[in-house]
Amino acid sequence: MSYPARIADSGVLAPGRQRFSPRQEEVIDTVETLFRREGLRGVRMGDLATAANCSRSTLYEIAPSKEDLFLLVLDRMMRRISLRGAAAINEASSNMDRIRAMLTSGALDFADLGPRYLDAVRSHPPARMLLDHWIAVCRDMLEDLIARAIAEHEIRPVNGRVVAEVMFASVLTFTDPDFTRTSRVTTADALGGMVDLLLNGLRPR
């Protein structure tokens, strides 16, 4: 199964798998923008309806509550980020380049969600569980890339799951809102340095 196909089958929310009309997609786009700017607690359904220039009933047709709409938006964004990461993987010419592409392209897209939104996700348990699901999906893809690199002797034999866990832990640290607020290093520079350090350390000796 290709990486994009694997991602397409990885949704956990029924609303995230249903088809929306073009108008509903426009509404969700606007709702996403507002959630990213204000978080979850900072908005009400009325605010979302006003911003999207629609009725509340239109929103309730998409999701039964503000919290469910928040989860739908998160699932949609994480699927989009994961698919872009998969596209970057498919364009790379070697396993090492595929690992680099996944750890930089996807991570930068994730960091671009912004501190306010990521804080909102991490403070809402259902959203955090959904985020953990997508992190697990991507971590499994990374472990698969590492296994391929080992099999083709691009990197030395290592425990792929351990390496994937270390890499993802680093990515989550460098994209954490607290890091972006307090670090003297940009997220892009931190990710680039981390990837160089880890991949160089994995090359055959």
**pLDDT tens digits for 129-153?**
999 898 888 888 889 988 998 899 8
Q: What is the pLDDT of residues 41-97, one digit of tens each?
A: 888 999 999 999 999 999 999 999 999 999 999 999 888 888 888 888 888 888 888
How far, in Å, CA of 35 to CA of 116, rounded? 9
How far, in Å, CA of 134 to CA of 129, rounded? 9
Identify the pLDDT of residue 16.
44
Task: Report pTM.
Answer: 0.82
The CATH class that applies to domain 3-10+71-202 reads mainly alpha
Identify the pLDDT of residue 4.
56
Tokens read off for 200: 């160089």
Reduced to 3 states (helix: H, G, I; strand: E, B; else coil), residue 71 is helix
The Cβ of residue 22 has, within 10 Å, a number of other Cβ atoms equal to 7
How far, in Å, CA of 177 to CA of 180, rounded? 5
Mean pLDDT lowest among 40-49, 95-104, 161-170, 171-180: 171-180
Identify the pLDDT of residue 127.
93
Mean residue pLDDT of the chain comes to 84
Q: Are 69 and 31 in contact (CB under 8 A)?
A: yes
How far, in Å, CA of 68 to CA of 13, rounded? 10
* Stronger pLDDT, 198 or 3, i.e. the higher one: 198
Query: Residue 99 contacts by C-beta under 8 Å, 6 or more apart in sequence?
Result: 142, 145, 146, 149, 195, 199
* Stronger pLDDT, 144 or 7, i.e. the higher one: 144
* Residue 183 in this model has a pLDDT that exceeds 60: yes
SS (H, E, C) 158-200: CCHHHHHHHHHHHHHHHCCHHHHHHCCCCHHHHHHHHHHHHHH
Confidence of residue 156 (pLDDT cuts 50, 70, 90): confident
Choose among 117, 120, 86, 80: nearest CA to 102: 86
How far, in Å, CA of 48 to CA of 176, rounded? 26
